[in-house]
Every structure is written in structure tokens, then in C-alpha cells.
Amino acid sequence: MPNILIGQGGSGKGLLFFISVFYTYFDLTMKLNSDQINRYQKDGFVLVRGFCSEAETRRMYEVAIQDEAMQKNAMDLNDQSGKKTRLSLWFNPGNDVFGYLTRSEKMVRCVGQLLHSDAPVCHFHSKLMQKEPKVGGAWEWHQDYGYWYKNQFMYPDQLLSVMVALTPANKQNGCLQVIRGSHKIGRVNHGFAGEQVGADMVMVENALKTMELVYCEIDPGDALFFHPNLLHRSAANLSEDPRWSIISCFNSQSNIAYNETSTAWKKPVDRVPDEAILTWDAAPLSEADFLKKENDPALKNTGWEEEMNVKPKG
Ligand SMILES: O=C(O)CCC(=O)C(=O)O
């Protein structure tokens, strides 16, 4: 065994260096076990508790609420009741703290275990979801592939999303709700629900007759990996507490998007060690390539949306 106790004995830096060498040497980077992989395949989602440590999550939340570019580039999407859901979305993962999360060995490795391809893992986009107390709007029932189909990605099994909670998410503040196993239905039709893309409610209601509705109540640092055909929604935040999270979406390089002008989706992720999130100097998000609402092909009319029944009954 090599001498791995190098560093400034007793100091915080020395300890971090020790941990990093220890993890590298023993290959202890977080990965999913076979039970978790099976659950993702069967249910369309898997929850990994404590994916990010308390300190990592605190660092990300501080940036989320303080970074000027993040706030300046936030956009509001109206839900069906006119309440606003706020998010900032960017494509290329940079040298900022969220870029370090997206690019971390643990993230890329776990995503690679779930994507249905051996091609390199690429990052499609990340978004900071900001559901403010009392005003944060709902997300209507949809599949992410309801949006991404319009980008003309060919293979849904080669895409997935990872939601990392930055604050507690619960029923009161509008946590994510999913229909267990609904990814197996395949893509259902989508129309517009407010300014969002919404799934055909006939199929959602059919799914709810036999499949379980699950409220994903999660704690800061927990990560929810979910399939792009999993039906999901979230209610408005009527509580006194914010509900913030970061959602990173990944794609296999073998999955071509024929209607997407950004290019991150075909660039293999430039990985960084897990400890970058906590210990590396982080750039501000001012260099990030943020999406403007008017440029999103998923929010454009393709001609068939109006025919869909996307309003819940009653
Ligand atoms: O953050 C939420 O409440 C829902 C977000 C969502 O459904 C999505 O980004 O696809």
C-alpha cells in the first residue's frame, strides 16, 4: 500500500487530500448497486439519499441564491393557473460549482450505469429550479421526452435527468410527483399547458388507474435519477419555504438530436474529481450559455399540440 498520508498533518486541506487519494486508490467513487439499477429500470426512477454531502449542498445553495448571472438569466414559465415557475437553464457545464457537480466522477459514473448505451456520457442541459414560497407555480403532468422529442433526440433510453435537492422538498412546498412505472408506456402525446408542455391527460388518467402515484419527498443532497418517459408533475409551492433544486439532464453521445442548436449534448463530459464541488475554486456563472425562452424548440408549436387534452378534469 503506498504512503497516502501526505499533506499538512491535522489541517483541513491535508484531510481532504487524504480522502481524495484514498478514494482514488480504492476506487470508492460512488456508484449504483444492482438493486438501484433494477429499480430504475422497473420504476423509471431511483432515489439516492445523501448523494451530495451537507457541505456540498450548502455551497451550491449559496451560489444558487447569490450568483448574479443565475438570477439575471432566470425565466418564468406560467402554469395553467397563471402562477410562475422560475428556472435558469444552461447547456455547457463550466468551472462553476454546478459544473463541478455535473462533471463529477460520481455523477457521470452513475448516469453511465443507467443510460442504455456504452457511448460516452454527454450533458444536455442543467437547470436551477426556483420555487419561491407562496408564488412558485406548478409543473403540469409531462414526460421530459415530451419536450425532448421536439429536439428530435431519437432514443429516450439514452437520456435521463438527475434532480438534486438544495432545500427540503415535501408535499407542502410542491415536491416532485411521479407515476411509478409509467416510463414503460412510451412517449404519450403532449400539447401546451399554460406556457409548459403538458401530457395528454387521458393517458395520465389511464396510467393512474393502475400505477402508483409517488410523492418524492427528499432532503437536501438527495438525488433522484429519472427516465425521460416517466410521467411527473409538481404542485405549486403554497408553503412558507422555498423549494430549490438543480436538475441535470444527460445524453449518450450515440443519441443524435436533429433539432437542437446547442452542442453540449454531443460532447463527452469533461470529468472532475468529486471533491471539486467542495474544494476547487469556482467561477461565477456569468460565462454560462443560458437558454432564452424564445429559443427553446420545445416551447414552439409544431401544429398538433392544440388537439391534446392537457387539462386535469374538474
Ligand atoms: O422541479 C419541479 O417541480 C418539476 C420540474 C420538472 O418537472 C422538469 O424539469 O421536468
pLDDT digits (tens, 9 = 90+) for 40-80: 999 999 999 999 999 999 999 999 999 998 889 999 888 88
Tell me the residue length of the chain: 314
pLDDT higher than threshold 90 for residue 287: no
Tell me, using a 6 A CB cutoff, whether residue 129 lines ligand 1: yes
Pocket test for ligand 1, best of 131, 150, 232, 241 (most atoms within 8 A of CB): 232
Question: For 154-193, what is the HEC assignment?
Answer: CCHHHEEEEEEECCCECCCCCCEEEECCHHHHCCCCEEEE
pTM > 0.85: yes or no: yes
127 vs 290: CA distance, rounded Å: 9
178, β-bridge pairs: 214, 232
Assign residue 82 a region (left: φ > 0; alpha: ψ between -120 and 50; beta: otherwise): left
Q: Is the CB of 100 under 6 A from ligand 1?
A: no
- The overall average pLDDT reported for the chain is 89
Please tell me the least confidently modeled range out of 6-15, 213-222, 223-232. Answer: 6-15
The secondary structure element, H or E, covering residue 121 is strand 121-131
Q: What is the mean pLDDT of residues 194-219?
A: 94
pLDDT tens by residue, 100-145: 999 999 999 999 999 999 999 999 999 999 998 998 889 999 999 9
Q: How far is the CA of 234 from the centre of ligand 1 (A)?
A: 7
Ligand 1: residue whose CA is nearest its atom 5: 139
Does the pLDDT value for residue 260 go beyond 80? yes
Helix axes 105-114, 34-43, angle to 10 degrees: 60
pLDDT over 80 (residue 314)? no
Pocket test for ligand 1, best of 126, 129, 195 (most atoms within 8 A of CB): 129
**Ligand 1 contacts CB of residue 247 (under 6 A):** yes
1: pLDDT strictly greater than 50: no
Cell matching residue 221:
443532497
Structural domains in the chain, CATH included, are: 1-30 (no CATH), 31-307 (2.60.120.620)
State in Å: Cα 25 to ligand 1 middle.
37
Give the per-residue pLDDT at 82: 81
> Burial letters for 149-184: b for 16+ Cβ neighbours within 10 Å, e otherwise?
bbbebebbbbbbbbbbbbbbbbeebbbbbbbbbbbe
Among 87-101, 125-139, 174-188, where is mean pLDDT lowest? 125-139
Give percent of the chain with pLDDT exceeding 70. 85
Q: Cβ-count burial of 294 within 10 angstroms (0-12 exposed, 13-18 middle, 19+ buried)?
A: exposed
Query: By the 8 A CB rule, do 222 and 167 touch?
Result: no
Taking residues 282-296, report their average pLDDT. 82
Q: Is residue 53 within 8 Å of 224, Cβ to Cβ?
A: no
What is the residue whose three cell numbers read 447547456? 91
**Separation of CA 139 and ligand 1 centre (Å):** 6
Torsion of CA 265, 268, 273, 274, to 10 degrees: 30
Q: Rounded to whole angstroms, how far apart are CA atoms 51 and 63?
A: 18
Ligand 1 site-directed mutation target among 176, 196, 217, most atoms within 8 Å of CB: 176
CA of 272 to the centre of ligand 1 (A): 26
Decide whether any atom of ligand 1 lies within 6 Å of the 176 Cβ.
yes
Q: Write down the residue that cell numbers 429536439 correspond to.
A: 151
